[in-house]
Amino acid sequence: MNRIVGLLALAVGLALPATVSRAAELVMFERPGCAWCARFNAEIAPIYGRTEESRTAPLRRVDLNGPLPADLAGIDPGPFTPTFVVLQQGREIGRIRGYPGDAFFFGLLDRILSKAGSEPEKS
Are the beta carbons of 27 and 85 closer than 8 angstroms? yes
Are the beta carbons of 115 and 20 closer than 8 angstroms? no
Residue 15 lies in a domain: no
* Domains identified in the chain, total number: 1
Helix (H, G, I), strand (E, B) or coil at 4: helix
What parts of the chain have a pLDDT lower than 70? 1-22, 116-123
> What is the model's pTM?
0.76
Q: What is the pLDDT of residue 23?
A: 78
Residue 120 lies in a domain: no
**Which residue from 40, 23, 50, 47 is spatially nearest to 84, judged by alpha carbons?**
40
Residue 42 lies in a domain: yes
Q: How many CB atoms lie within 10 A of CB 51?
A: 15
Residues of the domain holding 85: 23-115
